Structure 1
Amino acid sequence: MATIVRGERRPFGLIQNDTSGLAHTRCQVGGEGVCRWKMLMNGMHLEGEWNCVEYVVIEPGASVGEHVHMRTEEIYYIISGRAVVTMDGARIDARPGDLITTPIGSSHSIANHGDTDMEFFVTEVFPNTGQAAAPATIHLPDLLAERLVGRCAEVDLRSHFTGDWRRFQLLEVPAGGRVEDLGIAERGSAVLHVLDGDVVITVDGDEFTGGAGLSLAVPPRHKAVVAAADTADPLRLIMVEVKSL
């Protein structure tokens, strides 16, 4: 999305957020118990057809009830804990590292039947015309492959949806490692989210530092450089890329 000011298109800039200060929701969409929730990025402030980027924690015994999205396509990425996802009546036992795609019209719910919190990352994007693929569950750690620095797993989201999705990545960067080029397309906008470790993300000379829970939206035509802290722990982060205008 962009805004028009006196006939001139005005793009949005970088956005930084994190997973602190969560709201508490009870019986969400007819579910049970307590979920903790935060909108990390509102689509109206991102370049492209994003609707929202969210972070959700489902407490033990709680759930988000069954519902259907009629206006957006959606992905879940399971960060920690175990989830029971019901998709069009079929049960999915999801684990950390699972990416779950939900096209428009598919009914879905997500529950935590375990004894520890379950956390997941959500992205919704507005659709285009055409027929989307069936829902899918992809375990990203199984796709990890060596790259120049660290390892990367990538899913081409264009084959799953009708909207302007590009790709989803899981990146592992060793301590002290530095990724100079994330491969974001010139007309692509991306949201980075740190899962583990400490990071310095440099975008056009500006530095953004943080640990698990840090999120950064990178607009088109901005180069992001990711550096893992020089500690014993590697850095893990995910990236969602969507085509911009």
Structure 2
Amino acid sequence: MATVVRGERRPFGPIANDISGPAVTHRQVGGEGACRWKMLMNGMHLEGEWNCVEYVVIEPGASVGEHVHLRTEEIYYIVRGRAVVTMDGVEIEAGAGDLITTPIGSSHSIANRGDEDMHFFVTEVFPGEGPAAPPAQVHVPDRLASRGGIRSAEVDLTPYFTGDWQRFRLLEVPAGIRFEEWVPADRSIVLHVLQGSAVISVEGVDYPGGPGLSVAITPGSAFTVQYVSGPEPLRLISTEVRAA
């Protein structure tokens, strides 16, 4: 969110981070086993009502225990592996490409009952007014369609939440493709690379990286994404929140 200093609004600039160097947590929120957890973005440094952006790896047999968010709404995007999400007492089987929405006040936990690490991307946003929608599960890759040389899938998050959520997108960029977009003046977004190697450029600064690179882009900014390398298309996700 922007900061006001002596009556003047002071916006923040882009932020870049990656998933290296996570903390190791044990019995997280009363769960079992070990998780590797990292906060990628603190909402106080983002434009809009973001609370945080995180990346979590749950080891086989481990879990994040049941808990209720009383101040934020949340999404999980499963990046790799299989998960069992228990939402308000109902178990949901989820896998790579599934987006899970958690409205404020819903109890939820997430467990890895498989034999490989399970990775997921987390965003929390402060709520608005009105009643909460029920939790939902969307398999985002099912919506992929070709648009201007890239493939993209879009989920409109506004029906699921009371806060300033806008769009969640999955983008696939073929080799040799470079694309440019503008962030609307009333939005901010966080890009996160899932597969392949890329250079994300914002305000004349290049942010190179592979899977796990995250870049926050401020309202009204142009950015470019350049495929660099990888055996498969570059794949990244974009979370968009209203900033004004």
- TM-score, normalised by the number of residues in structure 2: 0.98
Question: 1:173 is matched with which residue?
Answer: 173
Matches within 5 A, 1:24-63: 24-63=24-63
* Higher mean displacement: 226-235 or 72-81: 226-235
Q: Give ranges in structure 2 of 5+ residues lacking alignment.
A: none
Would you say how many aligned residue pairs link Structure 1 and Structure 2? 244
Q: Distance in 1 between matches of 2:45 and 2:92?
A: 33
Question: 2:213 is matched with which residue?
Answer: 214
* Distance verdict in 2 for CA 1:108–1:219, change over 3 Å: same
Question: 1:236 is matched with which residue?
Answer: 235
Matches within 5 A, 1:12-31: 12-31=12-31
**C-alpha displacement of 1:231:** 5.1
Matches within 5 A, 1:1-245: 1-181=1-181, 184-229=183-228, 232-245=231-244
- SS of 1:66's equivalent in the other structure is strand
**C-alpha displacement of 1:201:** 1.0
Contact 1:98 1:140 in 2 (8 A): yes
- SS of 2:29's equivalent in the other structure is helix
Q: Distance in 1 between matches of 2:23 and 2:203?
A: 33
- SS of 2:162's equivalent in the other structure is coil
Q: Distance in 1 between matches of 2:173 and 2:36?
A: 29
- SS of 2:70's equivalent in the other structure is coil
Q: Distance in 1 between matches of 2:230 and 2:10?
A: 40
Q: Distance in 1 between matches of 2:84 and 2:159?
A: 25
Q: Distance in 2 between matches of 1:159 and 1:3?
A: 29
Aligned-partner residue type, residue 155 of structure 1: V
* Distance verdict in 2 for CA 1:91–1:230, change over 3 Å: closer
Contact 2:39 2:54 in 1 (8 A): yes
**C-alpha displacement of 1:178:** 1.5
Contact 1:149 1:178 in 2 (8 A): no
* Distance verdict in 2 for CA 1:230–1:107, change over 3 Å: closer
Q: Distance in 2 between matches of 1:179 and 1:154?
A: 17
Aligned-partner residue type, residue 153 of structure 1: A
Q: Give ranges in structure 1 of 5+ residues lacking alignment.
A: none
Aligned-residue identity in percent? 68
Once superposed, what is the RMSD of the aligned Cα atoms? 1.0
